[in-house]
Every structure is written in C-alpha cells, then in structure tokens.
Amino acid sequence: MWHFFAVKGNILYSKTINELRCIPNGYIVCKSGKVEGVYETLPRDCGDIVIADYGDKLIIPGLIDIHTHAPQYSIRGLGMDLELIDWLNQNTFPEEAKYSDLEYAGRAYTIFAGGLQKSAITRACIFGTIHVEATDLLMDLLEESGLKCMVGKVNMDRNSPEANINLSSGIAPVRTFLDEKIPVGLGTDMAAGSSNSILKAMAGAIQVSKLRWRLADRNLKPLTVEETFYLGTKGGGAFFGKVGSFEEGYDFMRLL
C-alpha cells in the first residue's frame, strides 16, 4: 500500500452541512491513510508522488451507516405490511433466535459481510444478537472485510427514513434536530429498511421531510441535497472521529 499518494478525478465532499465542495479534475493528497489536502492542481512539493488517475469518475467519501442489523439481513423486505410489534414477533425475533446456532450464524453473517463490502458503506454501527459466540464471529468477519465497524448494542435512534415508513414509526423532525445542533447521521436499519444503500437513505430523508413539512408542520422546511449528503458522510462519520470528508486530517476513504 502506498504511504504518500494522490487520487485524481471529480471530487465532491461536504465542508459544512450547507456547503458541498466540488473540484473537477482535482487531486486529493493522502499520507499514511489521512487526507493532507484537496487541490485544483498538484502542489509543487508533490512532484514525484504516485497518482491514481480516475479520469472523469466522481470521487466522494465512503458512506456511513449509523444503524443497521446484521442478523436481519436475510429477512429484508419481508412483512412490510405489518407495524412494528407484529413485524418483530412474526419476522425478526424468530429469525434472530436462529443465531444460537453458530453454523447458521456463520453462513448468514458471511453473506451480510460480503454484501456490506460490495456496498458504498465504509463504516457502520451494527446490531448483533444476544448470542456472544455468533457476535464474535460477526466481528471477525467484518475485521477480515477491511471495514471498520462498531458491533454491539447500538442506540435505538432509528432515523432511517425507509424503516420509519415501512413500520409506520413516524417521521423524525430532523430539521429540529439540526436547528438544535444535535448530531445526526443516516442509517439503513435493515431489515425494517430494505437495502444497505445510504444513497437511498439520503433520498428518503428528503422525501419524508417534504411530507412532514406538507402534512404536519409548515415551520420545518424540507431537507436539502447538501444537508443529506452531509448526514450520510461527515454527519454520521463524526461518530467514528474524523471520518466522512476529504478535509485535512480525515481518514481517507473514498468511493468512485
């Protein structure tokens, strides 16, 4: 792995919640896994640096999922005509009970970790089950995948837009949270959410904020693209430290 390198392409990242920075044909210079800076032209002292040129591709920070359930991956999309308690009793609890069987857990968590690895998510907060051996196995599989995840008891801050719709759980007043400076990120909340797409969660956050504004409270203006991109990258990334942006000192994780 290169110690000191640059990537070149069309760069997009959040500086603040209201400011997306776009640098066409720009450079991200990285050292020891951290971002040194983003430039329109390569600085002179980087003359002989290794450059990964991605041409006309878009380069954005890795996406952050701050709430999802690994043992529910196999039941995503099921029972979406039910409300929360019935859905838990009919689908979720019977499925999670199967993780007392380590062989089943191994097969299911291997599929989950593989799916996460292929997704646009680079950091995630993940629920397991009460079964310690199965949860240790999940941690090992995620470690092998190269993804840096938090596994364990995750706060019940469902804030996934799709999960809230599917289980009729209401619409989070995200505009109020932001006005009150409460840290906010986005979650996929599988299996109440149907996929491991934070891009979908960004779109969903805007959609439900429009409904809340239209049907419940005209004082809470809908979320913007700039705001939801921030929530899915730098906002959620703050949970892990300097993660989710290309500003100086941030962990370098990128998507093409």
> Which residues of the chain form contacts with Zn ion (CB under 5 A)?
189
- If the CB atoms of residues 157 and 226 are measured against Zn ion, the closer one turns out to be 157
- If the CB atoms of residues 13 and 127 are measured against Zn ion, the closer one turns out to be 127
- If the CB atoms of residues 109 and 246 are measured against Zn ion, the closer one turns out to be 109
Question: What is the smallest separation between the CB atom of 2 and Zn ion, expressed in angstroms?
Answer: 38
Q: Which residue has the tokens 């500086």?
A: 15
- If the CB atoms of residues 189 and 227 are measured against Zn ion, the closer one turns out to be 189
Question: What is the smallest separation between the CB atom of 69 and Zn ion, expressed in angstroms?
Answer: 6
Question: What is the smallest separation between the CB atom of 104 and Zn ion, expressed in angstroms?
Answer: 21
Residue whose beta carbon is closest to Zn ion = 189
Tokens (6 digits) for 152: 């364990």
Helix (H) or strand (E) holding 121: strand 121-127
Q: What is the DSSP string of 18-55?
A: TEEEEEEEEEEEEETTEEEEEESS--GGGTT-EEEEEE
Cis peptide before 192 (omega within 30 of 0): no
- If the CB atoms of residues 96 and 251 are measured against Zn ion, the closer one turns out to be 96
- If the CB atoms of residues 189 and 251 are measured against Zn ion, the closer one turns out to be 189
Tokens (6 digits) for 181: 């400076």
Question: What is the smallest separation between the CB atom of 65 and Zn ion, expressed in angstroms?
Answer: 11
Question: What is the smallest separation between the CB atom of 124 and Zn ion, expressed in angstroms?
Answer: 12
Question: What is the smallest separation between the CB atom of 48 and Zn ion, expressed in angstroms?
Answer: 49
